[in-house]
Amino acid sequence: VTIHDQKLVRGNGGELHQIADETTDVLTTAHGVPISDDQNTLKSGARGPTLIEDFHFREKIFHFDHERIPERVVHARGYGAHGYFETYDALAKYTRADIFQRPGEKTPAFVRFSTVAGSKGSFDLARDVRGFAVKLYTQEGNWDLVGNNIPVFFIQDAIKFPDVIHSVKPEPDRGFPQAQSAHDNFWDFISLTPESMHMVMWVMSDRAIPRSFRFMEGFGVHTFRLLDADDNSTFVKFIWKPKLGLQSVVWNEAVKINGADPDFHRRDLWDAIQAGDFPEWELCVQLFDQEFADSFDFDILDPTKLIPEDIIEPIPVGRLVLDRMPDNFFAETEQVAFMTQNVPPGIDFSNDPLLQGRNFSYLDTQIKRLGSTNFTHLPINAPKCPFHTLQQDGHMAMRNPVGRVNYQPNSWEDGPRQDPKKGFRSYADEVEGPKVRLRAESFADHYSQARQFFVSQTVHEQDHIARALTFELSKVETPVIRERMISHLLNIDEGLAETVADKLGITQLPKPADAAITPRDDLPASDALSIIKN
Ligand code: HEM
């Protein structure tokens, strides 16, 4: 910003006026009417009442009154940056997705990192999952990979999402705690939801207090499909690997940083990008076929399970570089609308019941939050490839169809037409079965991977998990909830359960929680699940 050597003029009451000259623009209303005085309302006499006729004042105040839009119902606090994705090798063998066809090609990208539970004004170093949402503006439509920095999730079925989020947010009677998971409602829900145990171990680990966004992994979590030109399917899990490696802070650092600089992660990303120190991630894919899916220890549709990287090695397929901050936080970071259902031809969903529910939820939440079905007209959400819909009208319509055609089929030569070859085709998955509300039995092992994660940690990392659990559960006032949690920990690691119980002053260990399936202790520790790499 250059400083303008502006002449100041004193008004009647001593107030200062900045007057336009040949070097500056003239201030106008939103309708373009030049403004003569932006310091005083129109009054009947200098000391008299304000006149209703003052359209400039009315427009200015009304616009201000409407500045806030609802914050996101989850992931309210976030920070975004622009960049690009560069494809390494053509992946045509597995997918017809245009973004993976030409080595070296760059695709524009926008990324928003976030915390989940806190409100927009909460602090950056809360113990929480971090959102890692990527919008890739591909030549065949926007692809949103709406992931987290943890590879699994709390729940297996989307119908439980309002419950887990209600439990983690401020309690409805008292309106606190604001951005902490440490409270009775959260641990009550968790202790009654054994499927959450794997995720809980990650959330109690150092992964939930990252040093910066630049040192985090990102995970698409669900199993997706890649489809080749002949509609052959390969299952895929997506992982973003930070070039800088993984780093976290420890809890007492997190607490101090939150007090001293609640914007710590924002500032870190801003400073790095402004200094030309562009953060980078590699997109890796874990590819597997139906035969692997059928033989794997767990159900590949279960979002509380991962595929250890030593079983299926992640293959790098491109890199993401963030090299530009938004010009305007609200226009871009706040108004960006991610949706899991945004996939281009060549990428498809699996039947993961959490993913299926997400595909339903995000369009609804964006319409509610951004106020109109035309949120796709906002520049940050609009595709950067040619696009032609027949949608029209609605609030804030900025691009109605040009010309006569707004329906299909039609007789006119300038209307857009569907394209069976290039257009999006779903995988023709064979589906049949009774109409039931039922969880698959193959989802029933809730402890084995939680244990595998814990034993994969170094001694210090395990100590941090024990301390985090102790701290969190020490804030829980209801004894039965604490005990229930210890009974789950007994199914994960006895030593961990005993340490936490001891520190909480629980002398009589409860019985291990009833497990639908006997927890396995034969899963080997995996290097890929350890945290501190440098
Ligand atoms: C927002 C990730 C599960 C509903 C977000 C955001 C991320 C995310 C990263 C923030 C996007 C942004 O930065 O603007 C995930 C992951 C999930 C998950 C990784 C599980 C694997 C769910 C489920 C639902 C859901 C099951 C509902 C059924 C929402 C909603 C928003 C949101 C309503 C707010 C969107 C907005 O207003 O922009 N999620 N989510 N999420 N998610 Fe999820």
Name the residue of 128, 152, 161 to mutate for ligand 1: max ligand atoms within 8 A of Cβ. 161
Is 185 marked active-site?
no
137 is in an annotated binding site: no
Query: Alpha-carbon distance 277 to 421, whole Å?
Result: 42
Question: How many beta carbons lie within 10 A of that of residue 461, not counting itself?
Answer: 18
Retrieve residue 16's tokens.
């200062």
Q: What pLDDT does residue 534 have?
A: 45
- Between helix 448-455 and helix 479-492 the angle, nearest 10°, is 80
Which one of the listed residues 82, 142, 148, 222 is annotated catalytic?
Answer: 148
Q: Which tens digit of pLDDT belongs to each residue from 399-457?
A: 998 899 999 999 998 889 999 999 999 999 999 999 999 999 999 999 999 999 999 99
Q: How far is the CA of 148 from the centre of ligand 1 (A)?
A: 9
Query: Alpha-carbon distance 461 to 437, whole Å?
Result: 39
Contacts of 495 by beta carbon, 8 Å cutoff, 6+ apart: none
Cis amide bond preceding 70, omega within 30: no
133 lines ligand 1 (CB under 6 A): yes
Nearest Cα to Cα of residue 36 among 62, 14, 61, 9: 9
Model ipTM? Answer: 0.95
Nearest Cα to Cα of residue 485 among 499, 282, 253: 499
Q: Decide: residue 436, CB within 10 A, 0-12 exposed, 13-18 middle, 19+ buried.
A: exposed
Contacts of 281 by beta carbon, 8 Å cutoff, 6+ apart: 218, 240, 241, 242, 243, 319, 320
Q: Which tens digit of pLDDT belongs to each residue from 163-185?
A: 999 999 999 999 998 766 779 99
Q: Which atom of ligand 1 is nearest to the CA of 354?
A: 26
Retrieve residue 262's tokens.
């609640």
Q: Containing H/E element for 240? A: strand 233-242
224 lines ligand 1 (CB under 6 A): no
Query: Alpha-carbon distance 138 to 85, whole Å?
Result: 10
361 lines ligand 1 (CB under 6 A): yes
Query: Alpha-carbon distance 155 to 190, whole Å?
Result: 10
Name the residue of 112, 152, 338 to mutate for ligand 1: max ligand atoms within 8 A of Cβ. 338
Query: Alpha-carbon distance 26 to 22, whole Å?
Result: 9
Tokens 């498809």 label which residue? 348
Q: Is 444 helix (H, G, I), strand (E, B) or coil?
A: coil
User: Alpha carbon 27 to chain centroid distance?
Assistant: 38
Summarize the confidence of residues 341-356 as an average pLDDT.
98
What confidence category does residue 4 fall into, taking pLDDT thresholds of 50, 70 and 90?
confident
Q: Which tens digit of pLDDT belongs to each residue from 193-241?
A: 999 999 999 999 999 999 999 999 999 999 999 999 999 999 999 999 9
112 is in an annotated binding site: yes
Q: Which atom of ligand 1 is nearest to the CA of 148?
A: 19
Question: Which residue's alpha carbon is nearest to atom 26 within ligand 1?
Answer: 158
303 lines ligand 1 (CB under 6 A): yes
The DSSP line for 462-503 is: HHHHHHHHHHHHHT---HHHHHHHHHHHHHH-HHHHHHHHHH
Q: Is 213 helix (H, G, I), strand (E, B) or coil?
A: helix
Lowest-pLDDT range of 151-165, 379-393, 447-461, 519-533: 519-533
| Total residues found in the chain within this entry | 534
Nearest Cα to Cα of residue 456 among 387, 528, 509: 528
Q: Is 331 helix (H, G, I), strand (E, B) or coil?
A: helix
Nearest Cα to Cα of residue 323 among 106, 131, 141: 106
127 is in an annotated binding site: no
335 lines ligand 1 (CB under 6 A): no
- Three-state SS string across 237-276, please? EEEEEECCCCCECCHHHHHHHHHHCCCHHHHHHHHHHHCC
* Rounded (10°) CA dihedral 361, 381, 68, 258: 80
158 lines ligand 1 (CB under 6 A): yes
Bridge partners of 144, per DSSP, are 135
Q: How far is the CA of 135 from the centre of ligand 1 (A)?
A: 14
Contacts of 365 by beta carbon, 8 Å cutoff, 6+ apart: 72, 73
Is 75 marked active-site?
yes
Q: Is 15 helix (H, G, I), strand (E, B) or coil?
A: coil
Cα radius of gyration rounded to whole Å, the chain: 27
225 is in an annotated binding site: no
Residue 285 pLDDT > 60: yes
218 lines ligand 1 (CB under 6 A): no
User: Is pTM beyond 0.90 here?
Assistant: yes
What confidence category does residue 6 fall into, taking pLDDT thresholds of 50, 70 and 90?
confident
214 is in an annotated binding site: no
